[in-house]
Amino acid sequence: MSNFTPNIITENGWEGYRLLDSGDGRKLEQFGRVRVSRPEPQALWQKSLPDSEWKKADATFTNASEKDDDDDKGRWEIHNRNLPETWPVEVEGVKMLCRLMTYRHMGLFPEQRPHWQWISSLNKASTKPLKILNLFAYTGAASLIVSNYGAEVTHVDASKKAIQWAKENQTESSLTESKVRWICDDATKFVAREIRRSNKYDGILLDPPRYGRGPDGEVWKFESDVAPLLANCADLLADDAKFMILTAYAMRLSSLTLHHMMADALKGRKGALDHGELLLSDQSGNRPLPTSMFARWGA
C-alpha cells in the first residue's frame, strides 16, 4: 500500500493562469487578465525575468511584517486604476471569480488542478456518480469542477463569506443545476455528525489551514487536529471508496508525515498511498516552485 518515494506533481499552467517568474521571496503570476506580484517564502533564488516585467504587475502584495515571510497579513498596492474588483478565470470548464484578498489569496489555488483532474477522471471511470465530501472547501473550485463531471458533492467550509463566494462561482459558471450541497460548519463537528448518521462517501478531499476558527469560534490547529480528523474521515469512506486526499500549506513538515498519518487512518484498507509536493512550473520550465505537500490514497 505504501510508497515512500515522494511523488512530485507539477502544474504547468493553462490559458487562464501562468506562473511567470519567481525569486527574491516573491512570485509573479497571471490570473486571467490580471498580473499580480505576491510574497513567496519558498522562492529563495534569484528572479529570472527583468524588473521591467515585474513592474507590469497590476497589483503587488506587501507583507505587514518583513520579519515573517509566512505572514499573510498586509496590503495590496494597486498599480492599474482600471483593475476590476472581481474578474473570472476559467479552469476545467468552470469560471472562478478572483479577488485581491487582504491575506494575499486570490480565491484560486492553481497548483491543485492535477488533483481536480485526477478526481474527475475517477468519476468518469465510475459506473455511478461519485459521492464526494470536500472539507475546508473554500471558494469551491474542486466542488464545482468535479460536480460538473457528474459527481455529487458535499461542500463544507466554516466561512459564510467563502461559501457565498463559491455560490457566485457556481452562478458565473452556469452550474446552478450541479449537485453541490453547501454546508457552513466546522469540519470536525460535521464529520462527527456524519458518522452518527452512518453516511458514507466515495471520496474525501481535505485542504485544511495551518490555523483557523469554525463558525462558532472552534479552534483548529493542524498539528493536533488533523490526525483525529483523518481517522474519522476514514470511517466515512464507503467499502468501495475511490480516494482520499490531504494537502498542507505553510507547514514545517515533510510530506512523509502526511503519508504516515494517512496510513494510520486507513489501516486495513487496500489500495495505493503516495505523498509528495505540488509544484507550479514557470513559463521557462526551468525553475518549478514548490507550493504545498500532499498525501493521496486511491483504491
**Closest by Cα among 295, 292, 288 to 278:** 292
Residue 5 within any structural domain of the chain: no
141-200 pLDDT per residue, tens: 999 999 999 999 999 999 999 999 999 999 999 998 889 999 999 999 999 999 999 999
What letter would DSSP give residue 197? T
- Cell numbers linked to 22: 519567481
- 85, 117, 139 - which closes a domain: 85
Distance CA 110, CA 51 (A): 24
Q: Residue 240 — left, alpha, or beta (φ > 0 → left; ψ -120 to 50 → alpha)?
A: alpha
Residue 99 within any structural domain of the chain: no
**Same domain, yes or no: 113 and 59:** no
The CATH number for 241's domain is 3.40.50.150
197-222 pLDDT per residue, tens: 999 999 999 999 988 888 888 888 99
Distance CA 147, CA 144 (A): 5
Q: 141-148 and 160-172 helices cross at what angle (nearest 10)?
A: 40
**Same domain, yes or no: 266 and 185:** yes
- 85, 117, 135 - which closes a domain: 85
H or E segment and range at residue 28: strand 26-31
**Same domain, yes or no: 129 and 184:** yes
The CATH number for 65's domain is 2.60.40.1180
Beta-carbon count within 10 A of 77 CB: 11
**Same domain, yes or no: 77 and 166:** no
Beta strands in 207-242 (DSSP E): 211-213, 219-221
**Same domain, yes or no: 141 and 213:** yes
Residue 2 within any structural domain of the chain: no
- Cell numbers linked to 48: 529570472
User: Domain count of the chain?
Assistant: 2
Q: What is the mean pLDDT of residues 239-252?
A: 92
13-29 pLDDT per residue, tens: 999 999 999 999 999 99
Residue 100 within any structural domain of the chain: no
**Same domain, yes or no: 161 and 277:** yes
**Dihedral sign, CA of 49, 62, 41, 288?**
negative
**Same domain, yes or no: 44 and 164:** no
Distance CA 241, CA 95 (A): 29
Number of H helices and E strands in the chain, helices first, is 7, 17
**Dihedral sign, CA of 265, 270, 276, 278?**
negative
**Same domain, yes or no: 121 and 262:** yes
Q: Is the pLDDT of residue 3 over 80?
A: no
- Burial track 188-222 (b if 16+ CB lie within 10 A, e otherwise): bebbeebeeeeebbbbbbbbbbbebebeeeeebeb
Range of the domain at 112: 106-298
**Same domain, yes or no: 112 and 36:** no
**Same domain, yes or no: 78 and 157:** no
